Structure 1
Amino acid sequence: MRYLTKLVGTGLILATVTACGGQETMATHPASGGDSVAPSGSVTTSPSAMPPAPPNPTGKPRLEVPAGSTPVPAGKVDATALPSGFPHEVYTANGGTILNVRAEEGGCGHALGEAIEQTAQRVVVDLSETKAQTGQMCTMDLRYPYLSVALAAPLGERTVVLKQSPPR
């Protein structure tokens, strides 16, 4: 009798887990070829129908270029001080007073960006990363967020110089 109770209990647990884990909805696995039909009470849209990313006044990193940003021509970006393979995408926004710069971060670190020099000829942007806390477990992944860096005046015809500092 004791084994029968364990067997029935194990069977009920297995049946419950299988039933819950096996349910796949149209929202999690949409049909190929366009918009999907979601179960009652939920809404799904195709990626092309997604609204553009809102402005980023907080300066926190984001993975998409903010809507309304304009790319800075490659000839106006000096990335010679960056390591090989480091991204060097720069966009302007808000009339040229905001630079959206692609940075690199990984694990527990977070990308930082700061305009450390602004002259009539150039703007120097220092890219860095926060240090991980001692004893903290971190993943070994790389992310390439965009950082918003405020300028004192619109970029205009100035060159953007990108440099990298050691983690802080």
Structure 2
Amino acid sequence: MRWKQAIIGVSVVVLGAVGAGCAQQGDVQPGSGGAGNNDAGRAPVELPRESGQGAGRKPVQPPAADEGTPVPPERVDASALPRGYPVEVSVTGDGRTLRIVGQEGGCSKASAELGEQRGDRVAVTMVETKPTSKDIACTMDMRYPPLTITLDEPLGERMVVLTYEARET
């Protein structure tokens, strides 16, 4: 019976020492400004937040300087893209350059191909090219590269129609 008391006593001492060690290492909540905070000079850690976009959509990223002017959503037909594919289209330069965010991952590569250019619409095919070989190891990451397409004439009020095609090399 004494050995049980000894084990409990040692456990209490060990747990107390661990707890005290954490408190001495500045385990103070960010922004609390509590005394004894050993994190002086360190920037607070920001945790990621949910973007609020629909399920399967790419998280909102801060705008880059060269993203151009966004094309209004009502002028982008992305209904033929796979579920979860990002839909970000903008016009840069003189209105003839479309910047479209693609999606690739692992060993696949994204590209965009210009289709027909009519008076009321511009067709762009988002292509994802995957290697045919099964003997290569690919990562499980997703990337969203900006892709550019140069139009014959400025986009103006035309609709941008996006389609998707998967290819193998």
- After TM superposition, is the score higher than 0.5? yes
TM-score (norm. length: structure 1): 0.60
1:84 is matched with 83
Does residue 32 in structure 1 map to residue 39 in structure 2? no
Report which of the two structures shows the higher radius of gyration computed on alpha carbons: 2
Matches within 5 A, 1:56-95: 65=64, 67=66, 69-95=68-94
Is there any run of 5+ residues in structure 2 with no aligned partner, and where? 1-40, 45-62
Cα distance in 1 between the residues matched to 2:73 and 2:99: 14
- Decide whether the 8 Å contact of 1:65 with 1:146 is kept in 2: no
TM-score (norm. length: structure 2): 0.60
Cα distance in 1 between the residues matched to 2:79 and 2:144: 18
Indicate the larger mover: 132-141 or 150-159. Answer: 132-141
Q: How many residues align?
A: 110
In structure 2, do the counterparts of structure 1 residues 66 and 128 end up closer, same or farther at CA, with 3 Å as the change threshold? farther
For the aligned residue pairs, the C-alpha RMSD in angstroms reads 2.1
Cα distance in 1 between the residues matched to 2:141 and 2:156: 36
Is there any run of 5+ residues in structure 1 with no aligned partner, and where? 1-29, 34-63
Cα distance in 2 between the residues matched to 1:141 and 1:79: 23
2:110 is matched with 111
User: Would you identify which runs of 4 or more consecutive aligned residues in structure 1 move more than 3 Å?
Assistant: none
Does residue 132 in structure 1 map to residue 131 in structure 2? yes
Cα distance in 2 between the residues matched to 1:166 and 1:66: 31
